[in-house]
Structure 1
Amino acid sequence: MKPTAVVALGGNALLRRGDAPSCDNQLLNIKIAAKAIAKIAVDYKVAIVHGNGPQVGLLALQNLAYKEVAPYPLDVLGAESQGMIGYMLAQELQNLMPTTEVSTLLTRIEIDANDNSMADPSKFVGPVYNKEEAATLAEANNWIMKADGEYMRRVVPSPKPMNIVDKKSIDTLLGAGNIVICCGGGGIPVCRTDNGFKGVEGVIDKDLSATLLAKQLGAEKLLILTDADAVYLDWGTDKQRALNNVTPEELAKHHFPAGSMGPKVEAAADFAKFGGRAYIGALEQSVEVLAEEAGTCVAMA
């Protein structure tokens, strides 16, 4: 029986920083991702979790253009992004692997409605702006903006994932031999009420959801692919250096930005403590990263 690998594709890996957020640009990067995943699927059962920061931010901007109705909430826009990105990924994978079933599952993830992030947003969504543009948009739309490298981006609440509501469906599809695209954008955030579940205004970090999925599936490996080729110390300075093989304890000695590499490092360390092997690296080097020939591998000593 094949071992299981959860592959987490960053929203910025599917739509690069500074690129126009067009369908053509996204499809170009999705084709790269599909080729990499197709190679991984030869030896592993694969569940794919994709990010949606740029995409859900774009949907929110488009949403503002029509003034006749109130804007749709972020949980609904997250569901839209799951369908959009999931369709494109599934189609490209099916084109490469015509005898393999590929399924996209709209996935709900339970969160705590009182999560601390609701009061302190940290999840980047949408395109990048210069400081002047960011200030204008923040005032016009009542948005919170934070620095993302040399640019500014909108931030929204990012509650921690607690439970995958649709886990049984994922199990069924993987058991049938499907490649499963699930928990897209970190999953649709929902919370329990006396009348069942209801949507929550926020965007769950896809790396934390991918770790939760990997743990609940009993996966052997977690592969986090982004637009960085590894985890670096002293990033952006003359002293920057990549970490190749590292333990969770060693990572805990350093600080990584909450809006970018921080959640990836947290997710990888969490999965390593659980007993798996976690990897962080570039989309184009996914096979090499999984083979521990590139990127960063996080595992217990």
Structure 2
Amino acid sequence: MGMVITAAAVAHPDTARPATTVDLAGRAARDCLARAGLSPAAVGVLVNVGVYRESNTFEPALAALVQKEAGISLDYLADPAPAFCFDLMNGACGVLGAVQVGQALLDTGSTERLLITAADVHPGGDARRDPGYPYADLAGAWLLERGADGGTGFGSVRHYSPEGSVGTEGYLDTARMGSGGRSLITVHREHGHDTRRGELVATAVADYAAEFGLDLSRTLVIGPQSAEDAAALGPEGEPHTAAPVLGHLRALAGGRPPGCDQLLFVSVGAGPSVVCASYVPEGW
């Protein structure tokens, strides 16, 4: 049996107050569980993969705070089987990296359900106030479990990291941060980044299709947005870590394209690196 997406959800900031990664991820998690008709006690493992966080928060593990916000295993008497949670840091490729971890956990029977949360928030709390910051304040969540049909669910997850330039870097510039360091982060993209990223994605998709015999004419690719698509989003910016969840929901809302019977998730991050994973939805 393959691992399937039981439910998915995204969360956008409340315009009345600054966004926080824990709040957004928690709301996405709760909405995801509600769509699946399950209580928080049904989750055995929570993996949080968001990267950008308000006030550049790195400790404690955000997964523990998201677990609390989502109401998962808060009472040892009511929930005798506690959930395991952890952060997985792999930039824009984090969601698909968590999918690979989830496949191993479900294959070994370590858990029955795995919840992935991804949330990015401008370090200052509102991406809309910083036109130079490229990413949207956005969270997404996937609930994964074993499917009833062996022909559905995720295929193999593959990572591609060719030699070359880093493409994109996000870092704290300690020499310049001063008193505003907790609300600032530097995102550097090399010249020609979009062109090289597109070429890398095309090569990775072709290699993945060749390795697994994927017919791309019958495949809907859910991948990184082009520069034009990101610009069309306006001041909100482009989705980052939660992009696969948002792309998945948009694909479902758009309906099944004629002749397509499978999806191919593609994420591209700094390094540069690309992660690909095929997916056959249940009842699509």
Range class of TM-score, shorter chain: 0.3 to 0.5
Q: Report 1 or 2 for greater relative contact order, CA contacts < 8 Å, sequence distance ≥ 6.
A: 2
TM (normalized to structure 1)? Answer: 0.33
Which protein is richer in helix relative to its size?
1
TM-score in terms of structure 2 length: 0.34
